[in-house]
Amino acid sequence: MMQLPVAAVPLMMDDEEVAKSVPSTSPTANGGAGSGRGVSDGVAEADAASGDAGGTAIEGGEGAMGEPSTSTLEVEVKAKGSAKEGVKRRYESWPGNETFFCGGACVTGPYYWGIVGTCLLILIPCVVFVVFVAWPLYEDLRDSDSGGGSKEIGAYVLLAVSIALPCLSLSSLFCSGCMDPGIIPRAPAPLGNTDHIARTRHVEVNGHMVLVRYNDTCNFYQPPRAHHCSVLNDCIERFDHYCPWVGTTIGKRNYRFYLIFVFSCTVLCVFTFACSAYLVKIRSDDPDTSVGEAIRGEPGALFMMTYVFIGIWFVGGLSGFHIYLLSRNQTTYENIRYSYDRNSANPYNKGCLANWAEVFCVRVPARNCDFTEVMPEKEENPTAAL
């Protein structure tokens, strides 16, 4: 039950002063042994009256026969109703630049439409590939009489892979772009002058001294490998980089899904290019068809080969770069900022296999902050002005 504030009563008053300040309706208020009862009844009625006038009441207030008064119950019901109407979740007052969906369960960056554009860049060519390349190849292999049924099995595998790879790429894209990357909640602002706070300090990590910095926006020393993202305006655990193609920052919690997205896109590009070239080869095997005629006869295959040839330089190079970083347990930010390989030892390198296992063989860490949490409503004390 909601505890409502009690009307203020001046302190350091004896019974006689209370009796004079509060009117009594009891017939024995001014006489003999009934005087004390008259004062208590008068105080109870005065409190009830002030509760009706000022919107406050004593919880569990009782009438003359020990039953809750009607006015007290009405005030309690109104208070409960207003509390339900004023429900506010944590994400609604979050100071960062994140965009929240599904009541705070999905977290993305301020430019979340980047993930929509990336989705279209994958989905539209994949539809073209399935309709104009994968399906004709499926029919050619299924209808082939040679091979003792092996080509028919290959036809089903080809069609399944043609659908599974885009699904894997899109699902990992949305997982990496719509989850908390490892946001660290801000600490309360320190009171008074902050000039005495050291800007940097050293902490030991795996036997190495690592420099950490004090963040004036988040009011704490950033943990090792954390960095304040200027786009999200929040500190991110194991900050890697901000990716406009995903629409959010890549950090400790979504780095695995980002790698799956990049690697699957690379495999998808190689697969579609190979299938498109194979379809052109099948068409050119006809004695009456030259290679040029086969290419002109399969515009879908020509489009896919051109498209993925351009794309594979981007996603393929990105895959190679992150394979290098993952093998040495570095982030993109650390590789650019600290250059461990040239300037100093990497305190996080555990060996190639252990580094890969650290990303792919552990559970996704829990969120540092539950954005769906209902925040307690701050109530103003109506007796503050009394």
Q: Which residues are catalytic?
A: 243
Q: Tokens at residue 19, please? A: 């009796």
CB contact at 8 A, 232 and 100: no
Q: Which of 162, 165, 172 is nearest to 128 (CA)?
A: 162
Residue 194's H or E segment, with its range, is none
Q: Which of 118, 220, 107, 100 is nearest to 169 (CA)?
A: 118
Neighbours of 363 (CB within 10 A): 5
Residue 103's H or E segment, with its range, is none
b/e burial code for range 209-225 (CB count within 10 A of at least 16 → b): ebebeebeebebbbebb
- Measured between alpha carbons, how far is residue 56 from residues 2, 7, 313, 382 in Å? 12, 7, 70, 8
The whole-angstrom separation of Cα 237 and Cα 240 is 9
**108 residue type, one letter:** T
The whole-angstrom separation of Cα 225 and Cα 25 is 72
The whole-angstrom separation of Cα 19 and Cα 13 is 10
The whole-angstrom separation of Cα 227 and Cα 234 is 8
The whole-angstrom separation of Cα 89 and Cα 72 is 29
| Pairing relationship of beta strands 99-101 and 374-375 according to DSSP bridges | unpaired
Specify the residue for token string 């552990």.
362
- Burial status of residue 344 (CB atoms within 10 A of its CB: 0-12, 13-18, 19 or more): exposed
Q: List Cβ neighbours of 308 (8 Å cut-off, separation of 6 or more).
A: 125, 268, 269, 270, 272, 273, 276
